[in-house]
Structure 1
Amino acid sequence: MLTPRCLVVGEALVDVVDGVPHPGGSPMNVAVGLARLGLSTTLLTRIGDDACGRMLEEHLVREGVALTAASLRVGERTSRATAAIGADGAAVYDFDIEWTLSESAAIAEAAEADLIHVGSIGASLEPGANAVHAMLRTVSSRALRTYDPNIRPALLGPRTAAVARVEAIMAASHVVKLSDEDAGWLYPGRRGDDVLAHVLALGARMAVVTRGGEGCVTAIAGAGEPVTRRASPVTVVDTIGAGDAFMSGLVYGIVSAGLIPELTADVFAPDADVLSALEGAADAALASAAVAVSRTGAAPPRLHELEQSSVL
């Protein structure tokens, strides 16, 4: 499948950095990353009809991301996140967010998609998270499902229920990406390899834990021990959107290698070629993140930048 229809479901918001508003939200960043890499991408989200909402609409138009009609909310305000950037380039967020989603719209959009990515606040914050879960229960078994929980503890409510919601989506997903911070919050005290094994046991076929500048660790169902992939050295400007660029690069690597049929097959039995291609997708993800952190803001690479990266 050369041109899959990609649907991204989750929050779009305005990141306020040093008092300046920027388009943001993990799922929206992933959608932009996919579009920049040449994939046909639609975003199902929630945007108000205020000035911030108009800024997000204009951003999506410029980036070639289609926005569903159900995403536009008359009379509602657009969500915000205020980011403080530390000396190490890492961002800490203060959220002012609402997340509602039409269950019928989500199910209808997903029915037309070959690849569905869900993530972050939109998959965990009620009441919209209920629609995301309902959508995942209805999608075609041949649609690739990817998930990045991008944990924001302050927005998740009681811990036990939050972990259960996250694990329910992991169980419905073929590919799961966690940061090391996500893994530490979900499974405190557990080794990285144990976390990856647990995610695969829930039902995922590929699980990845990112480790910032150290790279990532990937685990593939039926493939034995996890594999560590090293990141190339890069001068970090800031890390806003780094995980999202990793995610869009990973999805692009999977799609460009033609791996959707293998990952969505009723029985997943990867041969050496499939395993090699999946590890190559992890390299594409690392390359994408390296480009993003080398410049200001959530700025995932375009295809020519990814192809020129020294990681590939």
Structure 2
Amino acid sequence: MSKHDIDVVTIGRASVDLYGQQIGGRLEDMASFSKAVGGCPANIAIGTARLGLRSALITRVGDEAFGRFIREQMAREGVVTDGIHTDPARLTALAILGVRDADTFPLIFYRSDCADAALDESDIDAGLLARTRSVLVTGTHFSKPASAAAQLAAMRLVRGQGGRVILDIDYRPNLWGLAGHDAGEQRFIASDFVTRELSPVLGSCDLIVGTEEEIHIAGGSSDTLAALRSIRLRAPGATIVCKRGALGCVVYEGAIPDRIEDGAQGRGFPIEVYNTLGAGDAFLSGFLRGWLRDEPLTQACARANACGAIAVSRLLCSPEIPSEVELDHFLVHGSKLRALRHDAALNHLHWVTTRPAAPERIIALACDHRIQLEAIADEVGADRRRIAAFKVLAVRAARLVAEAHGGAAEGGFGMFLDGRYGRDALFAASHAGLWTARPVERTGSRPLEFEGGPDGATPGSLAAAMIEWPTAQVAKCLCFAHPDDPEELMTRQIRELQRVQDACRRQGRDLLIEIIAGKNGALASDTVARVVERFYAAGLKPDWWKLEPQRDPAAWAQIERVIAAHDPFCRGIVVLGLDAPLDELVASFAACAGQARVKGFAIGRSIFAAPARDWLAGRIDDDLAVTRMAETFAGLVRAWDCRGDATHDCAAERAA
């Protein structure tokens, strides 16, 4: 570890934001909310991490689910979490927000004796701060003596080792006790007290950032130029950034000029404003990306303006801050749309560069079958309701194999399970830590239709059904499609897949598209690749593909070329089984050896069909059914692992 392996440590607020999803409605009337990490320092820690800086956060969270959510999300974003302390006596801060119209954003802070407001000097870790090149403090945490002392201590430590101090004025009048609980949206109330509290801080700062209203409170004047000059007197060496909303920003390194505009500026980005909350945090994340790397101010301003523009065009705060890949694309290509939230290319880049991590491989026991298990139950005269219990046994089998290989997460083990018969099995798979995919299609439908009705079998609202799923569950959609299908049929199926993709993106959920072409036409070496190409041409970009086995390695090579050309961020391909004999499956594994995008398999009936028939007929008990499925699944895992090893004797796997 180098001495300064962290670029910036942010200090202060970390809350859970609940955003009302009914845009234009009153908070009184909100019916549902989206959850995200909030609070200026937490947002900036996430934003800078997404833009390639190494960031850390010093704050407090409660010893409850929301506190764990903040800690886990910070870790997922790559933020150093050593400075996040758990306060057993206090709850995590909470903010409730809405969008009433383009200029009105109702906001309620739940911060009475909350964890992050109790920050004090004991939370300041000298060892953590010794690793950073800069520290960011916020005006809000100078509103209370204990948190102010904590920030001042951090500033002294960082300045003492030659680091830089950043002040985000972050003025919230009601967090200073100047307005009531119902005034969370209010951005400015003149206060000599606040100005006096901030004044002695300014001289210890290398960078001071605020809106014009925040410049007014820090400088003690409602005249922006006068306020800037007052700040300059107290901070003669600081870089001052004045954020001006749609006008972008102006940066002053020396004397304050006679006109506000006569400072350094970067190009602006005229867009449609959707929600201004959190835009400043995105802006500062972008500015720090340039400033901490000593880029020209005009370049840092352009990054900052672009980040702010992207953020205000979307609903949430930290989740909407762009990644470095997304920002670079926007700076080079811009957008033809003023409403950036409708830009498909930008949204795709945002999704694939900020989505949760996934296993490097997927080794799954597929037991999402419905009509196939119903047919087996009917054949042996069993009650169909027993199918649900059998699916739980399948999860037990998968868990046994996963545990034998070091655990579900380590080995990428998973399940395909449905909601009609697999409700209890889905719970069991979640508790076992198994990666889980869940079907949305109406079984066997061609053209494609969706399940979603009250019985899980009849058509219904796709989005309404999926909103009840855990977001970790992958939506799987099987489409029987062949490149020689009639155009009307192909167009209809693509339209339905587009609906699934839209629902998944809105819910932050991975999408897996399964294609079976061989049941509806000849299967040549280019058949599946042609279907994949057609889907990409229609704007479909699933996170995963599930494809039928290809005996010809050239067929896999064609599929990989299509994916690489259209979506290099695709997570990969899993191979399905189609109830093939085990020796055929093992042979198909060998054909995809060496294909980097083929990440694993999802095999079902080849594993469970015979045990299901015997179990439903009462010929074997639970334990034997689990053992038989586990042995077959384990044999396929061994065959997969040795598929590319010509020196390995896989006779045992083939025999299995």
Q: 1:188, 1:196 → 2: CA distance?
A: 9
Task: Mark the CA change 1:50 to 1:126 in structure 2 (over 3 Å): closer, same or farther.
Answer: farther
**1:138 aligned to 2:157?**
yes
Name which of 67, 79, 83 aligns with 2:81. Answer: 67
1:111-150 mapped onto 2 (5 Å cutoff):
111-141=130-160, 142-150=162-170
Q: 2:203, 2:106 → 1: CA distance?
A: 29
Contact 1:200 1:220 in 2 (8 A): no
Name which of 284, 298, 316 aligns with 1:279. Answer: 298
Any idea what SS the aligned residue of 1:34 has?
helix
Q: 1:78, 1:302 → 2: CA distance?
A: 27
1:154-193 mapped onto 2 (5 Å cutoff):
154-157=174-177, 159-186=191-218, 190-193=222-225
Shift of 1:36: 0.2
Shift of 1:155: 1.8
Q: 2:61, 2:94 → 1: CA distance?
A: 11
Please, what TM-score do these two structures have when normalized by structure 2?
0.42
* Deviations 1:119-166 (CA, angstroms, capped at 9, x unpaired): 142343343122112322333342111111110111214733321222
Task: Mark the CA change 1:279 to 1:168 in structure 2 (over 3 Å): closer, same or farther.
Answer: farther
Any idea what SS the aligned residue of 1:151 has?
coil
Any idea what SS the aligned residue of 2:57 has?
strand
Deviates most, 5-14 or 195-204: 195-204
Task: Mark the CA change 1:34 to 1:296 in structure 2 (over 3 Å): closer, same or farther.
Answer: same
Structure (1 or 2) with the greater strand fraction: 1
**1:85 aligned to 2:99?**
yes
AA matched with 1:11: R
1:43-58 mapped onto 2 (5 Å cutoff):
43-58=57-72
RMSD, matched Cα: 2.6
Name which of 222, 227, 240 aligns with 1:195. Answer: 227
Name which of 196, 215, 221 aligns with 2:248. Answer: 215
How many residues in Structure 1 have an aligned counterpart in Structure 2? 294
Q: How much identity, in percent, do the aligned residues show?
A: 28
Task: Mark the CA change 1:230 to 1:69 in structure 2 (over 3 Å): closer, same or farther.
Answer: closer
Shift of 1:90: 5.0
Structure 1: stretches of 5+ with no match in the other structure: 259-276
Task: Mark the CA change 1:185 to 1:255 in structure 2 (over 3 Å): closer, same or farther.
Answer: closer
Q: 1:189, 1:66 → 2: CA distance?
A: 38
Q: 1:125, 1:96 → 2: CA distance?
A: 16
Q: 1:122, 1:68 → 2: CA distance?
A: 20
Q: 1:238, 1:39 → 2: CA distance?
A: 26
Shift of 1:8: 0.8
* Deviations 1:157-201 (CA, angstroms, capped at 9, x unpaired): 473332122222222111111112323445575432332222222
AA matched with 1:209: C
Any idea what SS the aligned residue of 1:279 has?
helix
AA matched with 1:36: R
Any idea what SS the aligned residue of 1:201 has?
helix
Contact 1:107 1:134 in 2 (8 A): no
AA matched with 2:154: M
Q: 2:83, 2:216 → 1: CA distance?
A: 37
Q: Which residue of 1 aligns with 2:36?
A: 22
Any idea what SS the aligned residue of 1:305 has?
helix
